[in-house]
Amino acid sequence: MTTIDSSDAPMSPGEITAMRRENLHLREIASQTMSRILQIDTQMIAIRHELEQKRRGFRLMSELAFTMMNRETDHENDFIVVCRHINVILNMQRTVLLVPDKDENNLFRVLISQGYSPEEQNRLARVEIRIVDKTLLDPINPVLITKATPDTYLASFRKILGLPFLISSPVLLYNELVGILITGRLDERMPFLPRLGRNDVETVQTVASYMAAIQLGHLFLEAENLANYDPLTRLPNLRRIKEGLHQVLVMSRRNGTLGAVLFIDLDGFKSINDTYGHAAGDAVLHSVAKILAGSVRESDIIGRIGGDEFLAVLSGLFSSDHAVSVAAKIIHKLSQPIEIYNALQCTIGASIGVCVFPDGDKDEIALIKTADEAMYAAKKNGKNTCVVSGRTGV
């Protein structure tokens, strides 16, 4: 019996047309699938880029928080640290902080410039930048300049800073402009220098707010220093001394130990001001502050209460003789020649009144007054000596 293989039979025109349609349909499905895969891949790349931007932003803020913790520097040094971290962590090439001119509106100077050569930094330090475009001062919509931005937009500003692609955000403190933070790149090239984006803008905005917080912290610190320390010698002032004396007095009563207040008045200081001028007098006061600080223990307090008058608070004494020996040491040191400047020397002295405590129910104000009275007794006894309250001159 003979069999016939149907596969060898020729296809009819209708079957051929149907097969072609099926093949075309499959190609369309494959093309759509590939397009979707490419779209998903593009989206994944964008998501990875966005996550990387956010990761850099989080890392920057966390490292700044750690680095700035317990720093005791001026705000300019803190701003330099911030700008360096921006360049390193956000992969920026240059970062600048502009500060407004105190006398003229819309005029700014470069306070910080990181990522520049020394020659460029010197050039920028001499530049005055007049900002006319108010968009640079808008805290809600920071400036973002990428390759998509027209070359004419802020062209002169970009040229001065040498930053073709940048992000700019104002630094505001209580709605007052205290600076403009600008950071950016010289080029945009994947994968290491991708186009700046909104996440970078948000990070720079956050850093600008952080810089405002740094400024605020330093303003508070300056206010506290003015309230508690003598601006010339940086020694505690009368207010701070009273606070410290109160604590020492409480501890002395609790522990059964003695303390002492030394009221120190310089002898012959007025003649230095009259002869050489107030600058020489200030230099002498600086030297006296160092001598006094070197004459007592770190646990003791040395302060200036004004003019040529100083106070020392000694704690943990076991006898009044210790206070007398400290006073004698101070008198000896201050009787030695003091160099003012340019090898010019002067000689002064000191009259010291000593009040040992606890002294009945006297508080810190009464103790200082008693030491003051003893100091005047030392002046009457010929100066350059000390008198202990309740004793005869020593």
Strand order in the sheet with 349-357: 301-306, 309-317, 258-267, 349-357, 386-388
Q: What is the DSSP pairing of strand 386-388 with strand 349-357?
A: parallel
CB atoms within 10 A of CB 8: 6
Three-state DSSP class for 94? strand
C-alpha span between 139 and 21 (Å, rounded): 60
End-to-end alpha carbon distance in the chain: 148
C-alpha span between 388 and 377 (Å, rounded): 9
Marked catalytic residue, from 187, 308, 321, 361: 308
Beta bridge partners of 176: 173
Q: How far is CA 380 from the centre of its chain?
A: 49
C-alpha span between 87 and 37 (Å, rounded): 36
Amino acid identity for residue 26 in this structure: L
From the list 79, 107, 108, 78, the residue with the least C-alpha distance to 95 is 79
From the list 217, 216, 137, the residue with the least C-alpha distance to 181 is 137
What single DSSP character describes residue 277? -
Amino acid identity for residue 224 in this structure: E
Q: What is the DSSP pairing of strand 165-173 with strand 143-145?
A: antiparallel
- Scan for tokens 């600058």, then name that residue: 279
Confirm whether 308 is a catalytic residue. Answer: yes
Contacts of 11 (CB under 8 A, 6+ apart): 19
In the structure encoding, which two tokens stand for residue 315, read together?
């704690």
Three-state DSSP class for 376? helix
Active site residues: 308
